[in-house]
Amino acid sequence: MTDRPNVVWIFGDQHRAQALGCMGDANVHTPNIDALAADGVTFSRAVSGCPLCCPYRGSLLSGRYPHRAVPGHQMQLPPELLTVAQPFRAAGYHTAYFGKWHLDGYQERDGRAVFHRVPRPRRGGFDTWLGYENNNAQYDTWLHGHTGEEEVEQHRLERYETDALTDLLLRHVEERAADGAPFFAVLSAQPPHNPYVAPAEWMGRHTPEGVQLRPNVPAVDWVRERARRELAGYYGMIENLDWNVGRLMERLRARGLYDQTHIVFFSDHGDMHGSQGQFLKTSPWEEAMRVPFILGGGRRYEMKAGTRVNAPINHVDIGPTSLGLCDIEVPDWMPGTDYSHHRLRKVAAVEDPDSAYLQLVVPTGHGDSIDRPWRGVATRDNWKYVALEGQPWMLYNLNEDPYEQANLAFNTRYRSERHRLHERLAQWVDDTGDVFQLPQL
């Protein structure tokens, strides 16, 4: 058995940061994820640098910002770009990916994306890849891919998606336990993305009438009715995901791997669910932009049980941080920050950034989505500033106003903060080689 640590990524789709027991949501029971947080490090100010599936995933895997990788919905990750799988493989790790991909640029108007076959050269360089392009039907999920040199034909999963994908991951853990090689594995589940449907055991735990709404859901009948109805299923999906996280933790312990495995739990973006009168994603409000992010796993690596840090970890930082957990050199094509020092007993290579860069490069044009580009910055000291092209849009002091009820962007009393954050945003645009028309203040 190798002494090198393993890394497992577990991430759902549209799971907002606030929807966990350990984050104070009274609607949801997540004992396994809460236990992961209790023994690990929670990044309470983690962000989705682009709260939209394809751009986030492109940045997550390639380590590059959306304008350098996947700028918009249903756009392809350039196959010539390396991914996080390559440096893990170069270090002797077996790499595996299970689940939703959404990076091959398939246009869903041509048919169901779940039936689109992603060619092997466009599967990110993973040793094992069993996935699908996209699918919004959790009980009708079709997988294809490869294991080693063997191609796997398209086949229908026999169970609810999250359960079936976890089955594949558990089988993979058994194989790695047998061969003793270190591994990097990814579980990418579509739930709790809409449609908000969970297995009956979890779906029956929540009713629309029993859902407690966030204080920033306006008193508009149709907004509240829709939010309650959708959240009842959403929380059931999250509790099912939590159960599957527990299955993984139990299997790792049973095979003697838990103490040498880092479990990284996060999401690609959140879901508004009626907050600010909005639904779904693509907006920079907290419910869509904040994501859960927990570095957990074996207690051998902990610095302090239940640690919370305010570092604004972003999508481009997850690859470098995961490599840092294994003492693998971060390649120079990854511009993000290695935050692994918050989990390990080591000195940070560089000081944590003061902020994270936020973008919507190409709007989707979908209903319930923001229909114009924007750029923003979320700071470690808990301010947020967002601009449309040529126009300030949002300025919030989240220390005093966590539900974003007082937009200060047009209040002269906060002129100095607006200028400070505007200048920081302009620096992010310049540093990342982005192109965006910021307003004149």
Residues 129 and 257 in one domain: yes
What's the whole-model pTM score? 0.96
Residues 27 and 84 in one domain: yes
Note the pLDDT tens digit of each residue in 48-67: 999 999 999 999 999 999 99
Asked whether 279 and 360 are in contact (CB, 8 A), the reply is: no
For residue 408, pLDDT over 70 is answered with yes
Assess if residue 257 is contained within a domain. Answer: yes
Residues 400 and 286 in one domain: no
Note the pLDDT tens digit of each residue in 176-200: 999 989 999 999 999 999 999 999 9
Residues 251 and 118 in one domain: yes
In the predicted model, what is the mean pLDDT of residues 202-224? 97
Residues 296 and 384 in one domain: no
Note the pLDDT tens digit of each residue in 89-117: 999 999 999 999 999 999 877 779 999 99
Residue 303 has a pLDDT of 57
CA distances to 8, 26, 130, 174, 179 from 92, rounded to whole Å, are 16, 43, 21, 18, 13
Residues 236 and 385 in one domain: no
Q: Which of 50, 53, 54, 326 is catalytic?
A: 53
Residues 326 and 379 in one domain: no
Note the pLDDT tens digit of each residue in 319-376: 999 999 999 999 999 999 999 999 987 888 889 999 999 999 999 999 999 999 999 9
Assess if residue 235 is contained within a domain. Answer: yes
Assess if residue 366 is contained within a domain. Answer: no
Residues 142 and 230 in one domain: yes
Note the pLDDT tens digit of each residue in 132-155: 999 999 999 999 999 999 999 999
Residues 123 and 229 in one domain: yes
Assess if residue 440 is contained within a domain. Answer: no
User: Domain limits at 121?
Assistant: 6-342
What CATH number is associated with residue 194? 3.40.720.10
Assess if residue 383 is contained within a domain. Answer: yes
Note the pLDDT tens digit of each residue in 393-404: 999 999 999 999
Residue 300 has a pLDDT of 61
Q: Any catalytic annotation for residue 193?
A: no
Q: Any catalytic annotation for residue 50?
A: no
Assess if residue 38 is contained within a domain. Answer: yes
Residues 198 and 53 in one domain: yes
Residues 173 and 284 in one domain: yes
Compute φ and ψ for 291, nearest 5 degrees.
-130, 155
Note the pLDDT tens digit of each residue in 240-299: 999 999 999 999 999 999 999 999 999 999 999 999 999 999 999 999 999 999 999 876
Assess if residue 271 is contained within a domain. Answer: yes
Assess if residue 348 is contained within a domain. Answer: no
The closest of 267, 340, 268, 274 to 303, measured between CA atoms, is 340
Q: Which of 102, 262, 315, 341 is catalytic?
A: 102
Number of folded domains in the chain?
2
Task: Beginning with the edge strand found earlier in the chain, give each strand of the sheet holding 383-388 in spatial order.
Answer: 355-360, 374-379, 383-388, 391-397
